Amino acid sequence: MKRSLKQFRYETAESLHIALFQIRANKIRSFLTALGVIIGIVAITMMGTAINGIDRGFDKSLAMLGYDVIYVQKSSWSTMGQWWRYRNRADLKTSYTEAINRTIEDNPNSNLLVAVPQMSTYQASVQYRDLTIEQAFALGTSYRYPQTASGDLSSGRFFTPTESAAGTMVAVIGDDIATGLFGEREAVGNIIKMKNSRFRVIGVFRKQGKFLGLFSFDNQVIMPLGAFEKTFGKKGFVTLRVKIRDQKQVDDAKAELLGIMRRIRRLPPQKEADFSINEQKAFKSQLDPIKNGIAAAGIFITGMSLFVGAIGIMNITFVSVKERTREIGLRKALGARRNTILMQFLIESVMICLIGGLIGLVTSFLMTWAIATALPDFPVQFSPALVFASLVVSVATGIISGLAPAVNASRLDPADSLRYE
């Protein structure tokens, strides 16, 4: 037993030696053979990287919405696009928040913390001297807004309860607006114009990036609700932002809010709710099918390229066995067993695949790095799990594609092989 173990070790060492030797002796052929695996592994890792990146980018976006904030709106996020279901609903009123907050105060066991009104429009343009930014997102709210939103100020302050109640013409602006209008200069203290109203800038938000690559939080101009109504009228889109006590009890919180809202809207029990309570989870459930679709397509493409690669390796290993028939005969005459020959060719194909896999990994690592450098917003991420998975796939490809030719080689008749020309 000890002897055969030693023998196995020496034979394996010999096989590794031969394999490296063969690969070095046939560099171009080996490279072309490995190309299939290289492409396959690049496909796998880029795919995995993209999915990782989407996940990460998505989580980042959801964090902007806040995990502990739910939103009452006219339409639902999870059935977006079905606008006809919602267009006949009665508009929400910002004053509902007062009623909600009174209910919360009366109930010490409430799952809700605070409700904050929000009235908004995408159609605002912001002016400073001769500079204009179109399509800014104007948002009127109360002084409690920061409790329900992520992002801190890079300079200045948020408006006070007094300013909030009075509807003072002050604005806290997003980073893009600040840089767009003031460049490197300090924005706080300057007067900007929206429609025909003049606002004093009192604060600037730190840069946050885009939500799902669509909506930018850096493009906002936030002002007291009263100031918003004076400037844009009372026709803005209303959202009630409700902060909850514990994000683990979001379902209880939603149920409680639903009850409060139904009372405010005076809905009889049998009538369907004419408003929607939204949370960030809705986006997740919308994104999952997309992500799975990308993954399925990716696995298919990757599988195809690996399959083609495997056939190439199988083909070249068959050729290699044919070319080295005499060598196989000789090795058998000198005492190589079937398994010795089998291992020799398997190790050779596995090694080609492994080298291909490593080249593929380096290639996709460089590609990921290049993409991440060139487009910092593009979500890509390279993970150790991907490295491991690619190496496993490489070895598996080597074994699968090398098995048939290797078995073939191991069964060659030594006497005939020695005479093979």
Partner 1 sequence: METSPVITMRDLKRHYSMGEETVKALDGVDLEFLKNDYAAIMGPSGSGKSTLMNIIGCLDTPTSGTYILNGQNVAEMDDDELARVRNREIGFVFQTFNLLPRINCLRNVELPLIYAGVNPREREERATEALNRVGLGDRITHKPTELSGGQIQRVAIARALINNPSIILADEPTGNLDTATSQDIMEIFSDLSKAGNTIILITHEEDIALYTRRIIRLRDGRIESDKKQ
Which residues contact partner 1 by CB under 8 A?
3-4, 6-7, 10-11, 14, 21, 25, 326-327, 330-340, 413-415, 418
User: Shortest gap between Cβ of 333 and partner 1 (angstroms)?
Assistant: 5
User: Shortest gap between Cβ of 342 and partner 1 (angstroms)?
Assistant: 12
Question: DSSP per residue over 370-415, as a string?
Answer: HHHHH-TTS-----HHHHHHHHHHHHHHHHHHHHHHHHHHHT--HH
Which residue, 21 or 388, has its beta carbon nearer to partner 1? 21
Which residue, 8 or 378, has its beta carbon nearer to partner 1? 8
Question: DSSP per residue over 280-349, as a string?
Answer: THHHHHHHHHHHHHHHHHHHHHHHHHHHHHHHHHHHHHHHHHHHTHHHHHHHHHTT--HHHHHHHHHHHH
Computed from CA positions of residues 246, 248, 252, 257, in that sequence, does the dihedral angle turn out positive or negative?
positive
Which residue, 186 or 413, has its beta carbon nearer to partner 1? 413
Which residue, 4 or 196, has its beta carbon nearer to partner 1? 4
User: Shortest gap between Cβ of 386 and partner 1 (angstroms)?
Assistant: 38
Partners of 211 in the beta sheet?
215
Which residue, 24 or 185, has its beta carbon nearer to partner 1? 24
Residue 113 φ/ψ region, left for φ over 0, alpha for ψ in the -120 to 50 degree band, beta for the rest = alpha
User: Shortest gap between Cβ of 293 and partner 1 (angstroms)?
Assistant: 51
Distance between CA 328 and CA 343 in Å, rounded? Answer: 12
User: Shortest gap between Cβ of 17 and partner 1 (angstroms)?
Assistant: 9
Which residues, including other chains, have CB under 8 Å from residue 112's CB and lie 6 or more apart?
A: 100, 104, 242, 243, 244, 245, 253, 256, 257
User: Shortest gap between Cβ of 341 and partner 1 (angstroms)?
Assistant: 10
Distance between CA 252 and CA 258 in Å, rounded? Answer: 10
Question: DSSP per residue over 347-374, as a string?
Answer: HHHHHHHHHHHHHHHHHHHHHHHHHHHH
Which residue, 198 or 337, has its beta carbon nearer to partner 1? 337
Distance between CA 242 and CA 359 in Å, rounded? Answer: 52
User: Shortest gap between Cβ of 7 and partner 1 (angstroms)?
Assistant: 3
Residue 159 phi/psi, 5-degree rounding, is: -75, 155
Which residue, 277 or 328, has its beta carbon nearer to partner 1? 328
Distance between CA 299 and CA 305 in Å, rounded? Answer: 10
User: Shortest gap between Cβ of 11 and partner 1 (angstroms)?
Assistant: 6
C-alpha of 2 from chain center:
53
Residue with tokens 């809010």: 257
Which residue, 21 or 369, has its beta carbon nearer to partner 1? 21
User: Shortest gap between Cβ of 339 and partner 1 (angstroms)?
Assistant: 8
Q: Contact at 8 Å (CB) between 241 and 146?
A: no
Which residue, 3 or 185, has its beta carbon nearer to partner 1? 3
